[in-house]
Structure 1
Amino acid sequence: MNKYIVLTLAVAALGLSACSSERVSNFPSYKLKVEQGNELDPQRLAQLQAGMTREQVRLLLGTPSIRSAFHANRWDYQFAVTRNGITQENHNLTVYFDGDVLSRAEGSALNPAEKTDKP
């Protein structure tokens, strides 16, 4: 009886040792595409101009991803696409207000040539 238990445990240990994470990752599998943040439409970005009110910017671009309590005159929009833990796209836009009026905007989302950051 003990021989069968020992033999079963040995076969189970041998079988489980073949399931290392390195070998499992070589098998093709579905890699989930994760989109985070606000995807910014280039046509809407082209309409963005200094002098717009906060409400106009919110209607045009949507609610900002980051609104800091310490920087009340700054809104940040972030957008990232990752697949299998690797970032394929990364866009950012920062808009600055002078009171209630848009003073300037900057970020990689404004420059089409720098639109994708692929590793």
Structure 2
Amino acid sequence: MRWKHIVAASLVLASLSGCSWVNKLVYRIDINQGNYIDQTAVEELKFGMTKEQVKFLLGPPMLVESGYPNTWYFVQYLKPGHDAPEQKELILSFDNSGQLVGMKGDYQPGSGFFEAVR
């Protein structure tokens, strides 16, 4: 009879505590999708770079819209195992001759980005 009370009490305590601590014991892999964007590579970007030079630094873009071939989107999505997902993006604009003219997004350009000859 005594063991039934112990089992019942442990079941009640387990149901009240929830499964949050059990969930942390389960291994979850980090999920990386899209472009891996390194801040040091972004700092090397300069006005006037060609599309080939940008592709050499950052790799191919994640998205180039068919109607706007001079706008490149680099998107990085990271979902660490038990943490909240994080998404960063970098949008580069080129002129009609294929030279870099603009940059916006979650990354800061280096000082050389603004010093290039226009």
Q: Residue type of the partner of 2:106?
A: S
Please say if 1:70 is aligned against 2:67. Answer: yes
- Displacement of 1:109 in angstroms is 2.1
Q: Which residue is equivalent to 1:32?
A: 29
C-alpha contact 1:37 1:78 (8 A) present in aligned 2: yes
Query: SS of the counterpart of 2:49?
Result: coil
Q: Give the aligned partner of residue 57 of structure 1.
A: 54
> Which residue type is aligned with residue 101 of structure 2?
S
Normalized against structure 1, the TM-score is what?
0.66
Aligned to 2:99: 101
Q: 2: CA distance between counterparts of 1:41 and 1:33?
A: 18
Q: TM-score, normalised by structure 2?
A: 0.66
Extract unaligned runs of 5+ from structure 2: 1-17, 110-118
SS in 2 for 1:55: helix
Query: CA offsets, 1:3-53, max 9 Å, x none?
Result: xxxxxxxxxxxxxxxxxxxx6665220012101111111111111011011
SS at 2:75's partner residue? Answer: strand
Question: What RMSD in Å do the two structures reach over aligned CA positions?
Answer: 2.2
Identity %: 28
Gaps of 5+ in 1: 1-22, 112-119
**Letter paired with 2:72:** W
- 2:38 aligns with 41
The code of the aligned residue for 1:39 comes to Y
Structure with higher RCO (Cα < 8 A, 6+ apart): 2
Q: CA deviation at 1:86?
A: 3.2
